[in-house]
Amino acid sequence: METRAQRDVERAGASAVGDEWRPLEGDGWREFVIAASMALLISVPLLGLGGLSVLEARRSKANGERIAYQAAHAYERLVAAPSLPMLPLESATHGRDVFMSACVACHGPAGTGIAGLGFNLVESDFVAARDDQTMVDYIIAGRPDARPTPMPPRAGRDDLNDEDLADVVVYLRGLQDPRRLPELPAVQSIVAAPTEADLQAALDAAGGDEELAGYIASGAKIFATTCAACHGQGGVGIAGNGKALKNNAFVASQSEDDLFDFIQRGRDPGDPANTTGVGMPAKGGNPALSENDLLDVIEYLRTLQSPGAGAAAAPK
């Protein structure tokens, strides 16, 4: 007969040989497996989010580089693409006439810019990359801090309304892509006729001489539409651009013929006598001005000088 001790030994041996191994109760293995599973469940989404974040950052950088590249080549892409629809004749014509009286002094009659004054608007990626309303808003605000020369709000022309500026933008589209520009009629002067108040002020300045008053009033209007963009309304000057012509010793000291020659030929920014480094284009940048127009401007400039202003000529 087997003793109880023998049976216990036999059972223990059978368990070790034939049964599967099982961890002893309380050794922590079950808890370890659960913890590892939870950690895996938590880390996988986090790693996935991290990967997505890196991927999104790379996509954002690539998109930014693509946008920057497109902005830097907007003009090239414009002229290489099929032409957009023809621009409206009336808007393009009016925009051209406004441009020739307000913008030409700094940007040139062809819009290709003037050294030291205004940038080339024809081959401008900045212009090509922006829609019409953005360009109108830009002209309205101006760039007073621009270099080398500040751009005054509304090109220094407070008389220009938003519709005028919108037509200027239409004309700019035609300058950038001549395929869209219809054949335009001859340039028309858009200098407004003097008002009764203008005539009265001119009459007072002329000491009652009605003929001289007519010249002064005409010159004041031409100055306001052509010269004020650089020299400010009333000839008070614009910092970093045109010098003040009011009480200007140089103007006061010059004869009518000398001033006429000076305005007609302009002054190069590299001229040793140019103390500002800012060029003055011929005829103030408005080639449509006639000799009589220039003479009228001179009569107006005379009214801006105080007695004795020309006693000691100063550089302009």
Q: Are residues 213 and 299 in the same domain?
A: yes
Distance CA 241, CA 263 (A): 16
Among 128, 149, 180, the domain boundary falls at 180
pLDDT lower than 70: segments of the chain: 1-28, 32, 40-41, 43-52, 54-55, 57-71, 148, 190-192, 308-316
Mean pLDDT taken over the chain: 82
Helices (H) and strands (E) in the chain, counts: 14, 0
Q: Are residues 200 and 299 in the same domain?
A: yes
CATH number for the domain spanning 93: value is: 1.10.760.10
**Domain residues for 114?**
89-180
Place of tokens 């996988």: 44
The pLDDT value recorded for residue 44 is: 63
Does residue 64 lie within any of the structural domains? no
Number of domains in the chain: 2
Q: Are residues 93 and 146 in the same domain?
A: yes
Does residue 36 lie within any of the structural domains? no
Does residue 105 lie within any of the structural domains? yes
Does residue 309 lie within any of the structural domains? no
Encoded tokens for 148: 């080398």
Q: Are residues 140 and 219 in the same domain?
A: no
253 and 262 Cβ atoms separated by less than 8 Å: no
Does residue 14 lie within any of the structural domains? no
Q: What is the pLDDT of residues 83-132, one digit of tens each?
A: 999 999 999 999 999 998 888 888 888 999 887 778 899 999 999 999 99
The pLDDT value recorded for residue 47 is: 61
Closest CA to 175 of 98, 92, 245, 258: 92
pTM of the model: 0.65
Distance CA 214, CA 47 (A): 82
The pLDDT value recorded for residue 214 is: 92
Does residue 311 lie within any of the structural domains? no
Encoded tokens for 46: 């986090």
Q: Are residues 154 and 201 in the same domain?
A: no
Helices 210-222, 196-205: axis angle to 10 degrees equals: 120
Among 180, 210, 231, the domain boundary falls at 180
Q: Are residues 99 and 161 in the same domain?
A: yes
Q: Are residues 171 and 201 in the same domain?
A: no
Q: Are residues 218 and 283 in the same domain?
A: yes
121 and 104 Cβ atoms separated by less than 8 Å: no
Does residue 51 lie within any of the structural domains? no
Does residue 108 lie within any of the structural domains? yes
Q: Are residues 203 and 299 in the same domain?
A: yes
Q: What is the pLDDT of residues 30-47, one digit of tens each?
A: 776 777 777 766 766 656
Q: Are residues 174 and 203 in the same domain?
A: no
Distance CA 172, CA 181 (A): 10
The pLDDT value recorded for residue 14 is: 47
The pLDDT value recorded for residue 17 is: 47
Place of tokens 């400039």: 301
Q: Are residues 239 and 269 in the same domain?
A: yes
Among 122, 147, 180, the domain boundary falls at 180
Cis preceding-peptide flag for 148 (omega within 30 of 0): yes
